[in-house]
């Protein structure tokens, strides 16, 4: 991701979306066209929550060709063995994908038959080492492709909401040692938690790209509170959406998110605006932030 995280003079603004569920791409590409020139990258998730979508590699190539927006793709170890991972990474280089976010992948529910077939050939640290090897040209096919492979900017994921921040800090240290340059976080709703996390990331020479998740409606807040274990510490915040009409919830979430981003702008390397309830609210938030913080080119 040449230059995307270099010479930072203001926080990066990323928009995280899931590729389409089926073959129809036109609608989502048109929506993403609204942020062209306003965001620094589109961050594509990889079958998040175990829900099958189009390959982020394929959809990322469409975004770059049509919209010329830099693309980061999430690459999950859960769904691929080492040969498939290597193949996809070489393909990402050939297509000009700008960044890779290495992750294990969300755990599948115990009653999901696919859970028994999750791939455990590599973990996140092994994937980071594979990417570093490709960049050096000393891993298998990487030797033959040294002249064409990019100097990858590679990241991983992290959870600022973990009660034991020492444990999370140790994981970040290991990710940095294996080649990560940045971490994209789970959504954060509280300023002090994000600031503490960013300080830990800096200790390990990692750029902190903080997850910002606007809440679309009460039902979305209830789902996050009850179903997403990593957000258990945010239960008190999510309760504020109880009884709200959708229009009120959207406005309250935009207002809170902008205040949080403003408070953190001097402490973090960027924001990853997440499309948990679909892209519309995330796009609205991204454009609202950009109006008050014009992009510097």
Say what the pLDDT of residue 296 is.
66
User: Are the C-beta atoms of residues 193 and 236 closer than 8 Å to each other?
Assistant: no
Query: Residue written as tokens 């921040």?
Result: 165
Q: What span, in angstroms and rounded, lies between the C-alpha atoms of 188 and 212?
A: 6
Closest CA relative to residue 81, chosen from 51, 118, 50, 109: 118
Q: Which H or E run contains 43?
A: strand 41-44
Average of pLDDT values for 32-60? Answer: 90
Helix (H) or strand (E) holding 197: helix 191-203
Determine the Cα angle at 83 with ends 81 and 87, to 5°.
120
Mean pLDDT, rounded, of the chain? 88
- Domains (range + CATH), the chain: 12-292 (3.20.20.220)
Q: Helices H, strands E: what count in the chain?
A: 10, 8
Tracing tokens 């039902």 back to the chain, one arrives at 219
69: closest CA among 4, 22, 6, 20?
A: 4
| Residue 139 in tokens | 């891993």
Among 60-64, 168-172, 190-194, 292-296, whose mean pLDDT is lowest? Answer: 292-296
Concatenated DSSP letters of 208-245: EEEEE----SHHHHHHHHHH-GGGGGGHHHHGGGTT--
| pLDDT, tens digit, 9 for 90 and up, residues 47-63 | 776 678 899 999 999 99
User: Strand, coil or helix: what is 93?
Assistant: helix
Least confident of 25-39, 52-66, 75-89, 133-147: 133-147
Residue 292 DSSP symbol: H
Straight-line distance from the first to the last Cα atom of the chain, in angstroms, rounded to the nearest whole number: 16
Burial 243-276 (b: 16+ CB within 10 A, else e): ebeeeebbeebbebbbebbeebeebbbbbbbbbb
When pLDDT is cut at 50, 70 and 90, the band that residue 178 belongs to is very high
Q: Which letter does DSSP use for residue 139 in this model? A: S
Report H helices in 8-97.
Answer: 26-32, 56-67, 82-95
pLDDT at 2 over 50: no
pLDDT class of 231 with cuts at 50, 70, 90: confident
pTM of the model: 0.91
Q: Is the pLDDT of residue 193 over 60?
A: yes
């Amino acid at each position: 991701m040449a230059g995307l995280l270099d010479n930072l003079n203001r926080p990066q603004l990323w928009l995280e979306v899931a590729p389409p569920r089926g073959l129809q791409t036109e609608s989502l590409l048109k929506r993403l066209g609204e942020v062209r020139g306003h965001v620094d990258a589109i961050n594509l998730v990889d079958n998040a929550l175990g829900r099958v979508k189009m390959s982020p590699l394929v959809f990322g190539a469409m975004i770059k060709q049509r919209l010329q927006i830099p693309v980061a793709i999430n690459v999950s170890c859960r769904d691929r063995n080492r040969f498939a991972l290597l193949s996809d990474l070489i393909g990402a280089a050939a297509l000009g994908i700008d960044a890779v976010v290495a992750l294990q992948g969300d755990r599948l529910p115990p009653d999901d038959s696919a859970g028994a077939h999750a791939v455990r050939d590599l973990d996140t640290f092994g994937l980071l080492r594979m990417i570093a090897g490709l960049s050096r040209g000393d891993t298998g096919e990487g030797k033959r492709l040294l002249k064409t492979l990019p100097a990858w900017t590679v990241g991983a994921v992290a959870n600022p909401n973990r009660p034991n921040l020492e444990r999370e800090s140790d994981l970040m240290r290991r990710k940095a040692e294996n080649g990560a340059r940045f971490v994209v976080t789970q959504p954060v709703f509280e300023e002090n938690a994000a600031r503490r996390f960013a300080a830990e990331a800096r200790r390990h020479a990692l750029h902190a790209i903080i997850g910002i998740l606007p809440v679309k409606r009460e039902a979305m807040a209830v789902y996050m509170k009850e179903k997403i274990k990593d957000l258990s510490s945010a239960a008190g915040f999510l309760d504020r959406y109880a009884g709200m009409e959708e229009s009120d919830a959207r406005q309250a979430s935009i207002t809170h998110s902008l205040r949080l981003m403003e408070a953190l702008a001097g402490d973090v390397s960027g924001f990853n605006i997440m499309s948990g309830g679909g892209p519309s609210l995330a796009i609205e938030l991204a454009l609202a932030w950009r109006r008050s913080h014009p992009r510097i080119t």
